[in-house]
Amino acid sequence: MNEHVLEGRNLVKTFGAGHTEVRAVDGVSLTIGRGELVLIMGPSGSGKTTLVSMLGGLLRPTAGRVLIEGTDITALPESALPRIRAQKVGFVFQAFNLLEALTAEENILFPARLLQGGFAGARKRAQSLIERLDLVKRREALPGTLSGGEKQRVAIARALINAPPLILADEPTGNLDSASGQEVMMVLHDIARDEGRSVILVTHDPRVEDIADRILWLEDGEFRDRKAEQHQWTRDPVCGMRVDEWTADLRATFAGQSFVFCSIRCQQRFEADPARYASQAPDPAQDRGREVPP
């Protein structure tokens, strides 16, 4: 039996063509084992969502292959993908994406209805998920009346209803307060540990790092070695604001020294009179390697 639940090989996704071409994901490979909880982190625009969309069969890669439990889903016709998504992948979204007209329980059962014969045992599974995720009192509630945490637990139950081997969660705590976020994280952790499902978690939330088996750092469409430190703070030479040198997009070089900016406005001001700002700039080394006090 193939212990790799998910395998991505040399995945490339480009948008546009010619001089407007953007390589959102550029030659990424990864394997995820059964029961593994893997974190995908990286700055905004690094290609995380594009990568997860390809892994979940929502987006076709420009090049490369995706195998779920050994099935090459990139070789399948478009018409076969919905079934793969319903059967093999459970999605959890940042915006919850519950169907507004359906009750919590109906939302949970929705993917089961998409599979022929999948509905037979689904009610029982739904019942146990509802109990497990502490939704017993809210099963008949409409999404509009649920709290954020409850919504996300319903979404997780929905992702699990067809017992998929792979769960893809995109910023599942992004819209939640810290207590609810913590709770959702622990649920995902338990799913991986107790049920042997593979969980890929895209997040900015540093609290999750402690429960992850592995952390993959995506930057400019590629996996890179993540720096030992989480951030490398420096200051914008124009306004003096704190900026993370690793993730900043706006850069300029003057007199052999590199500068990063908080905004285009600051960059433009700097470029208009670099000498003035370069001389005023604090010594970057002063902040490097440690948190700048707020």
Partner 1 sequence: MWRWTFKSVVASPLTLAMSIAAAACAMLLAILFEAIYAGEAKQVVAYLENADADVWVMQSGVSNMHMATSYLSDWKAHEVRNVDGVASVESILYLNTVIDAGGKKWFSFVVGLDSSSKGAGPWSMTKGRSMPNSGEAIVPGVFADMTGLQLGDTVAITDRKFRVSGFSADTFSMGNTVIFVTKPDLEDVMSSLDIVSFMLVKAKAGVSPDVLAQSIERKVTNVNALPSSEFAENDRTMVMQMGVETIALMTTIGGSLAILLVAFTVYSQIARQQRELAVAKALGATNWMLFTSVTAQATAISLISVLVAVFLASILVPLTDAFVPQVTLRVTAGAIERIAILGVAVALVASLVPVRRIARADPVTAFHG
Residues at the site binding partner 1, with contacts judged by CB under 8 A? 49, 52-53, 56, 58-59, 79, 82-87, 91, 93-95, 97, 99-102, 106, 110-111, 113-115, 158, 170-171, 174-175
CA 215 to chain centre: 12
The alpha carbon of 277 is separated from its chain's Cα centroid by a whole number of angstroms, namely: 37
Is 14 or 213 the residue whose CB approaches partner 1 more closely? Answer: 14
Whole-angstrom Cα distance, residue 159 to residue 74? 22
In the complex, the smallest distance separating the C-beta of residue 159 from partner 1, rounded to whole angstroms, is: 9
The nearer residue to partner 1, 35 or 90, going by C-beta atoms, is 90
Measured from the CB atom, is 52 or 130 closer to partner 1?
A: 52
Sequence-ordered list of residues with C-beta below 8 angstroms from that of 160, at least 6 positions apart, any chain: 90, 125, 129, 167, 191, 197
Shortest distance (Å) from residue 30 CB to partner 1: 18
Return the closest-CA partner of residue 38 out of 169, 152, 225, 176.
Answer: 169
What is the smallest separation between the CB atom of 59 and partner 1, expressed in angstroms?
5
Distance CA(258)–CA(248), nearest Å, equals 12
Please identify, using beta-carbon distances, which residue of 69 and 171 lies nearer to partner 1: 171
Torsion of CA 215, 219, 223, 227, to 10 degrees: -60
**Residue 14: Cβ within 10 Å count:** 15
- Of the pair 170, 236, the CB lying nearest partner 1 is at 170
Q: Least distance in Å: CB of 11 to partner 1?
A: 15
Give the nearest distance from C-beta 234 to partner 1 in angstroms: 29
